[in-house]
Structure 1
Amino acid sequence: MGANTRPKELGVCGLDEIDESEFSGLAQRHRRELHVHCYRMLGSFEDAEDTVQETFLRAWRRRETFAGRSSFRAWLYRIATNACLDLLAKCRPEPATGGEVRWLQPYPDRLLDELAAAVADEPEVVAVARETIELAYLVAVQHLAPRPRAVLILRDVLGWPAKDVAELLGDSVNSVNSALQRARAGMREHLPAERQDWTGGEEDAGTRELVRRYTDASVATDIDRLAALLRDDVRCSMPPTPGLHVGRDAVVTDWVGSGFVGMTGLRAVETRVNRQPAVAFYHWRKREGAYLPLTIDVLRVTGGTISEIITFHDDQFPRLGLPERLPADGTD
């Protein structure tokens, strides 16, 4: 984080001698990385956007508190983390339970690519690691209490020293280290056991072929072909709709009960979300004369089979950069 260096972009004047426009220009350079940080803390793309905006407002109003002892980036991270903790205390006093996160939202890969490109020449910025942005990680993090969650992300993801985290939280180094151990134990409890074997973030031929087969079987609503692609202990959820289905039989039963089997007029677009393969489905609407957004499935692949499907509703299509409609293909 460069916590012991004065930000070169501020020169020798600090924040007291710049106007609001200049301040905004400095802060905006860090918007995307702060957004990803808040997204990890909150699990919601929308809440992360609101919290980053709140971070910039707080930073401008409290600019006199920046004394140059840490970098401008680190100072913004401190404000953002506290803004996240305030939101969690107000809106989500209890962490997620039961393996599902009803407020979970996807994060488009195109924005992660923008961040990776923006910080490519800044070695002090921690790159967005696939392991800390995948949905399985986000779900596990949301099961931690807010302060241990903050400690885990600051220490294990961003690489902050324990003393800096302690200063941010107004706590002792011993307390921070204890919270980190509890958080790591919680992550081991909630992360998939075979996480190290997950290949969803790799563009390997086997994963691409599996996703293609899943896409084709889904468009055909062929339940037998789909079932053959699933692990025995596959997990399926659809936030914010409550309900976590675990096991191939339970998932298939849910699909049959939902009316999916026998549905016609589907088309699909393959994409990537949270560094994972995803398939966006569109449903033919005769009145509109087009295929309109239906759902998007984000897949976790383990050992050549699908080990998790998290389905999101059509309201997520715009931020994922997906078409708002697909034209008729002449076959319907």
Structure 2
Amino acid sequence: MSVSTRVGERGDMADVDESEFTGLAQRHRSELHVHCYRMLGSFEDAEDTVQETFLRAWRRRETYEGRSTFRAWLYKIATNACLDLLAKRRPEPATGGEVLWLQPYPDRLLDELVAQEDGPEAAAVSRETIELAYLVAVQHLAPRPRAVLILRDVVGWPAKDVAELLGDSVNSVNSALQRARAGLREHLPASRQDWTGGDEDTATHDLVRRYAEASVSADIDAIAEMLREDVRVSMPPTPGLVIGRAAVLEDWNEHEFAEMTGLRVVETAVNRQPALGAYQWDETAGAYLPLTVDVLRIEDGVISEITTFHADQFPRLGLPERLPADYAQGES
């Protein structure tokens, strides 16, 4: 009998060694990482919390009795690990509405999760619940209602299972879910983004291309034509949320964006949204070095939000650490 069969049918951990246990747990690493990422909003915190989840699971392996699936048992431990972290050190969202600890999640990792053959993970990375706007909205919820919302509406758990995990009644869970859904609606955009990433997205692909070209030439006027009137721009972990085209352009002019030279961009995708990794020429290095990552939200044919991340996110997103001197804009 295989270890997965023993654990799945009998809940018997007594004769499972550490390597077997690790192999069984690792099958669920990717989806647990996405779950923790939704709870925490930070890729790095999610990574640490998954490690903590596996450590707790191994130490408490005798508590697994087989009444639920091994996957569900790991979800319970991961959720509690997230709640413990949030109770210890998670700050409140900034007054402007931005989430300072927000980090991007590379599409390539989401694609790997969807490609897994074990089914239920695919539903956990639906576009609407991994976009940055959703992540930001979720971070405005208190930790326990946040957990209820994610477990019920994203992971698909029944109320009784969530109640058991949190030590609450089913009525309390249902009430928390209603409050969380209402809170989520307060922070979510009114409409969905115009992006699937597929070849059929010709108009949005064209908009991203034009944004890339205007960024390379630091053409603020051209970019302005692509922005919605009430566009929102943030740059976590730097405080500040700039709202409105006029305010955004004023901010860019103050930071002398139009004076920047030696720029190149590489298109990528994060959180199921189009993104651009920007590089700037460095004479000493003799190469274009990482500058920022712009993640775009596109609605009704215009850019409604730009979330800019610092250069430290490049390695995680699979972007080159540098571009050669002869790099021609637009090459793949």
TM-score by length of 2: 0.94
Q: Decide which of 24, 27, 45 is 2:25's aligned counterpart.
A: 27
| Aligned counterparts, 1:105-254, within 5 A | 105-118=103-116, 120-123=117-120, 126-195=123-192, 198-203=193-198, 204-254=201-251
Letter matched to residue 326 of structure 2: D
Instruction: Tell me the equivalent position of 1:17.
Output: 15
Give me the whole-angstrom Cα distance separating, in 1, the residues matched to 2:276 and 2:71: 36
**% identical aligned pairs:** 75
- Kept in 1, the 8 Å contact 2:96–2:240? The answer is no
Give me the whole-angstrom Cα distance separating, in 1, the residues matched to 2:286 and 2:147: 48
Which ranges of structure 1 fall in alignment gaps of 5 or more residues? Answer: 1-6
Letter matched to residue 73 of structure 1: R
- Kept in 2, the 8 Å contact 1:9–1:26? The answer is no
Instruction: Tell me the equivalent position of 2:263.
Output: 266
- Kept in 2, the 8 Å contact 1:99–1:244? The answer is yes
Give me the whole-angstrom Cα distance separating, in 2, the residues matched to 1:108 and 1:227: 27
Please give the secondary structure, in 1, of the residue aligned with 2:265.
strand
Please give the secondary structure, in 1, of the residue aligned with 2:149.
helix
Please give the secondary structure, in 2, of the residue aligned with 1:300.
strand
TM-score by length of 1: 0.94
Give me the whole-angstrom Cα distance separating, in 1, the residues matched to 2:11 and 2:152: 31
- Kept in 1, the 8 Å contact 2:197–2:274? The answer is no
| 2:56 maps to 1:61 | no
- Kept in 2, the 8 Å contact 1:58–1:79? The answer is yes
Give me the whole-angstrom Cα distance separating, in 1, the residues matched to 2:207 and 2:91: 40
- Which string of whole-angstrom CA distances, capped at 9 and with x for unpartnered residues, describes residues 214-234 of structure 1? 000011001100000000000
- Kept in 1, the 8 Å contact 2:11–2:67? The answer is no
Give me the whole-angstrom Cα distance separating, in 2, the residues matched to 1:89 and 1:193: 31
Cα RMSD of the aligned pairs, angstroms, is: 1.7
Cα displacement (A) at 1:281? 0.3
Letter matched to residue 194 of structure 1: S
Structure 1 residues 125 and 252: CA distance shift in structure 2, 3 A: closer
- Kept in 1, the 8 Å contact 2:288–2:324? The answer is yes
- Which string of whole-angstrom CA distances, capped at 9 and with x for unpartnered residues, describes residues 72-96 of structure 1? 0000000000000000000116456
Give me the whole-angstrom Cα distance separating, in 1, the residues matched to 2:88 and 2:118: 38
- Kept in 2, the 8 Å contact 1:290–1:326? The answer is yes
Q: Decide which of 315, 319, 323 is 2:316's aligned counterpart.
A: 319
Q: Judge which range, 226-235 or 88-97, deviates more.
A: 88-97
Give me the whole-angstrom Cα distance separating, in 2, the residues matched to 1:106 and 1:314: 12
Give me the whole-angstrom Cα distance separating, in 2, the residues matched to 1:48 and 1:123: 20
Give me the whole-angstrom Cα distance separating, in 2, the residues matched to 1:330 and 1:180: 51
Instruction: Tell me the equivalent position of 1:98.
Output: 96
